[in-house]
C-alpha cells in the first residue's frame, strides 16, 4: 500500500521523535488508512468517532493488547491535530474515544538479601571493581541504565554524597548516594585511570577505555546474577525497581520516591504501592488467625 500523502506529511513533522516511535506511528496510521479504505470512507475529514472506535475494536479482536491500543489512539489523536492545522480535517474524531485499559504488570524486584548478594561482588579485578560500583550506584540511587551510562566523572560528588542525573526529557535531578555505593565508586575511581582513555569523561568505561553502553551493562548484570547464585531473571531496571520498592516499604513516602526516581507523574510511582501491598498480604495470610488458608488436598 503506497504511503498516504497525509501520513507522509505527518511523519515528516515528527522527525524529532525516536525512530521506534515514528515506526509505531507509521504502522498504526497505515492500518487506519487500510481500515478507512475497506469501509469506503472517502477522506480523512470524513472519519468520525464511530469509525475510530470500530478501528480499535477490530485491532482488539485481532489480539492487540490494551497498551498497544492506547498508543494507537495517541497516534490517531496526534495525526488529526496535524490534519486540522493543515486544513484537511475540521474535528479530531479521536477526542473522547477511550482505549481498553492495559492490565497493570507489577515490576519484578529482588528482595533485600538478593539485592545485597548481587551488588556484593568480592572479586578485585578491574572489571569486577567497576561492576560493583555500577550496581551499588544503581541500587543506591535508583538510576535508569541510560542515566548510569550517561554519567560523567564530575557528576558524582562523593564528599556531599550525591549524584547529578540527566533523566528522560533531559530533566536534571540530584539523588543521594548511600555509604556502600560511595565506597564502591571511590574504589573504582582510584583505579579508573588503568582503563579509561585519555580525555574520556564517562564515569564508567569499557575495556577499550570509552563510555560503557547500556547493552554492556545488561550483559554484565546478567552474568553477575548467575555468578552470585540469583536464579530469577535480572536486568538493570530490576535494581531500580528494587530501590523504589525497598525505599517505599521502609519510608512509606510515595512523593519522596517519585522525586528520587524522576517520575513526572506520581501514578507511575504508585505501582510500587501495589508491590508493598502484596508483601503485606502475604504476611497477613501467613499470620492472621482469620486469614484464608488453602485447605490440604
The x, y and z cell numbers of residue 220, run together, are 554484565
**Residue entry with cell 536464579:** 231
CATH class of 5-85: mainly alpha
pLDDT of 257 reads: 74
**Angle, helices 112-119/214-227, rounded to nearest 10 degrees:** 110
pLDDT of 27 reads: 92
Local confidence band at 295 (pLDDT 50, 70, 90 cut-offs): very low
- Residue pair 103/55 in contact (Cβ under 8 Å)? The answer is no
Mean pLDDT of 219-247: 85
End-to-end Cα separation, the chain, in angstroms: 59
pLDDT above 60 for 1: no
Using DSSP, state whether 203 is helix, strand or coil.
coil
Q: What percent of the chain has pLDDT over 70?
A: 85
Q: Which of 30, 60, 235, 237 is catalytic?
A: 237
The x, y and z cell numbers of residue 14, run together, are 515528527
Q: 84-88, 113-117, 154-158 — which is least confidently predicted?
A: 113-117
pLDDT above 60 for 28: yes
Mean pLDDT of 201-222: 95
- Residue pair 47/36 in contact (Cβ under 8 Å)? The answer is yes
Q: 11-15, 58-62, 251-255, 282-286 — which is least confidently predicted?
A: 282-286
pTM score, whole prediction: 0.59
Catalytic residue check, 82: no
Architecture of domain 112-284 in this structure? Orthogonal Bundle (1.10)
Question: Can you give the residue ranges of every domain in the chain?
Answer: 5-85, 112-284
Residues 256-285 pLDDT 10s: 777 777 776 666 666 666 656 565 556 556
Mean pLDDT of 211-224: 93
Catalytic residue check, 237: yes
* Separation between Cα atoms, residue 105 and residue 278, nearest integer Å: 13
> Residues 260-268: contacts with CB within 8 Å, 24+ apart?
260/141, 260/142, 260/173, 260/175, 260/176, 261/142, 262/165, 262/167, 262/168, 262/171, 262/173, 264/169, 264/171
Q: Which of 168, 210, 215, 288 is catalytic?
A: 168
Residues 72-110 pLDDT 10s: 999 999 999 999 999 999 999 999 888 776 556 656 777
pLDDT above 70 for 291: no
Q: Which of 132, 220, 240, 241 is catalytic?
A: 240
Domains 5-85 and 112-284 share a fold: no
Using DSSP, state whether 202 is helix, strand or coil.
strand
Q: Which of 36, 71, 144, 246 is catalytic?
A: 144
Catalytic residue check, 168: yes
Catalytic residue check, 144: yes
Catalytic residue check, 272: yes
Amino acid at each position: 500500500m503506497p504511503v498516504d500523502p497525509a501520513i507522509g506529511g505527518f511523519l515528516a513533522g515528527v522527525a524529532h521523535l525516536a525512530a521506534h516511535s515514528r515506526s509505531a506511528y507509521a504502522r498504526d496510521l497505515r492500518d487506519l488508512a487500510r481500515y478507512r479504505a475497506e469501509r469506503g470512507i472517502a477522506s480523512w475529514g470524513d472519519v468520525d468517532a464511530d469509525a475510530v472506535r470500530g478501528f480499535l475494536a477490530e485491532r482488539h479482536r485481532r489480539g492487540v493488547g490494551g497498551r498497544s491500543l492506547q498508543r494507537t489512539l495517541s497516534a490517531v489523536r496526534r495525526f488529526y491535530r496535524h490534519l486540522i492545522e493543515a486544513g484537511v480535517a475540521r474535528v479530531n474524531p479521536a477526542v473522547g474515544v477511550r482505549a481498553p485499559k492495559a492490565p497493570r504488570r507489577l515490576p519484578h524486584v529482588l528482595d533485600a538479601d538478593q539485592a545485597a548478594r548481587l551488588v556484593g561482588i568480592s572479586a578485585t579485578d578491574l572489571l569486577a571493581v567497576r561492576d560493583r560500583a555500577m550496581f551499588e550506584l544503581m541500587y543506591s540511587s535508583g538510576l535508569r541504565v541510560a542515566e548510569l551510562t550517561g554519567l560523567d566523572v564530575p557528576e558524582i560528588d562523593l564528599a556531599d554524597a550525591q549524584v547529578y542525573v540527566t533523566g528522560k526529557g533531559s530533566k536534571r535531578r540530584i539523588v543521594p548516594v548511600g555509604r556502600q555505593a560511595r565506597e564502591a565508586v571511590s574504589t573504582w575511581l582510584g583505579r579508573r585511570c588503568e582503563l579509561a582513555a585519555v580525555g574520556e569523561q564517562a564515569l564508567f568505561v569499557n575495556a577499550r577505555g570509552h563510555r560503557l553502553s547500556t547493552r554492556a551493562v545488561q550483559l554484565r548484570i546478567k552474568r553477575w546474577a548467575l555468578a552470585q547464585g540469583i536464579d530469577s531473571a535480572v536486568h538493570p531496571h530490576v535494581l531500580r525497581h528494587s530501590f523504589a520498592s525497598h525505599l517505599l516499604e521502609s519510608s512509606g513516602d510515595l512523593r519522596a520516591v517519585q522525586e528520587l526516581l524522576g517520575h513526572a507523574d506520581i501514578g507511575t510511582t504508585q505501582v510500587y504501592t501495589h508491590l508493598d501491598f502484596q508483601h503485606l498480604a502475604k504476611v497477613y495470610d501467613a499470620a492472621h488467625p482469620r486469614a484464608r488458608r488453602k485447605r490440604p488436598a
